[in-house]
Amino acid sequence: MKFIEGGVVAAEGFLASGLLSGIKEGRTKVDTALIYSEKKCTAAGVFTTNKVKAECVKLNIVNVKNGSAQAIIVNSGNANACTGAQGYQVAQRMGKAVGSELNLKPEEVFVCSTGVIGQQLPVEKIEAKVSDLVKGLSKQGNIEAREAIMTTDTRYKECAVEFQVGGKTCKMGTMAKGSGMIHINMGTMLGFITTDCAISANMLDKALRSSVAGTYNCVSIDGDMSTNDTLLILANGMAGNPEITQEDSDYESFLSALNEINTIMAKRIAADGEGAEHLIECCVTGAKSVEDARILAKSVIRSNLVKAAFFGKDANWGRILCAMGYSGGDFSPDKVDVSFESKNGSVQVCKDGMDLAFDEDLATSILSAEKTTILVQLQDGHSEGRAWGCDLTYDYVKINGDYRT
């Protein structure tokens, strides 16, 4: 496996574009993106488990059951959430407009939105630009597309890999957005994966759900689960490999590539948390099960007290044990060791669930790095899990205090 350029257009047969539709008044950057495959794809998706779902999410949940698609249209600036029957019709109109221009059925077009909740989406502005979106489709279109899906993100997020399946070279690329309102469960803020690997819809769905459990679902920035969380994957089979239809070595190669790009994107989303200054990774080892390890790790990075301590570069390890204690994960509190590690060194701050004399200056230096790992060692088993988050800063409050303006 090796990393390549191109994001969502890295794989054979995929094109993208992005432009400004003017959805949110005052925005001068592109706000609408289109991803298209020259060949029909198998498709799978995972979505928010929030009971309050955006209208576009409701539409995608229906359409993904077909197991196939060929295009994705995305807008930023308006979430099309809490907009009722009118909002659902708006989502349908977006799919229909793209389908009409590309000679596709509306159900072959996934529709995604992100932005302010509770305001009707001015769909006529998007409809007026769909023809230009289609005309702009190209192998360089990922550059505009990755920018068009951003809201409070400070940087675009994309990557791509090349890997081998059945003697053929396959490619897989992705782009995502996410900065705030992130406490992911079965999706991400918005994420899109494209691949030219041939894989059945059932196996594609299986791989996506397996990968998400240990990557995107292990990210929390602020504990708020979005109404729009969506992660979609399209596979057009243009690499020419024998179709993956069962769990074999080819499936494992595909899953390995998927895990690689999803892990990278999960970390980038965590690092770009609204107002964030530090990426926090929590690694729990020696747990009874992988599920317990992930529950414990995610509870630690989700804790506002832990996040605030990292902002202040305070090695307050007691908050870590506290967060583990209410997580619901099974562990022995009197058999917990905690250490901090970064490019500036490492220091153990807790042994067997109790205080341990340590160098405070060294700890402060370690916590000053852009990325710090919390190492939690248990003695309950042999499983491990990781989660990613960020510190809680003054800027987070500033950004979300006037988000609508």
Q: What is the pLDDT of residues 36-47, one digit of tens each?
A: 999 999 999 999
Q: Answer yes or no: do 251 and 396 share one domain.
A: no
Q: Of 212, 183, 200, give the one whose Cα is nearest residue 67.
A: 200
> Residue 278's pLDDT is what?
84
Q: Which domain-ending residue is among 271, 293, 308?
A: 271
From 152, 188, 194, 215, the catalytic residue = 188
Q: Does residue 79 contact residue 114 with C-beta atoms inside 8 Å?
A: yes
**Predicted model pTM:** 0.85
Any catalytic annotation for residue 188?
yes
Q: Whole-angstrom Cα distance, residue 181 to residue 327?
A: 20
Q: Answer yes or no: do 233 and 328 share one domain.
A: no
- Please give the average pLDDT of every successive group of 10 residues along the chain, which has 405 residues: 97 98 92 98 94 96 98 96 97 98 98 94 98 98 96 86 98 85 51 98 98 88 69 98 98 98 90 71 97 96 91 95 97 98 98 96 95 97 94 67 57
Residue 257: exposure state from Cβ atoms within 10 A (0-12, 13-18, ≥19): buried
H/E segment holding residue 16: strand 14-19
**Structural domain boundaries enclosing 386:** 279-401
Q: Whole-angstrom Cα distance, residue 120 to residue 78?
A: 8
Q: Answer yes or no: do 72 and 20 share one domain.
A: yes
Q: Answer yes or no: do 64 and 200 share one domain.
A: yes
Q: Does residue 188 contact residue 219 with C-beta atoms inside 8 Å?
A: yes
Report the alpha-carbon angle 299-257-192, nearest 5. Answer: 70
Phi-psi region of 197 (alpha: psi -120 to 50; beta: other; left: phi over 0): beta
Q: Answer yes or no: do 311 and 248 share one domain.
A: no
> Residue 188's pLDDT is what?
43
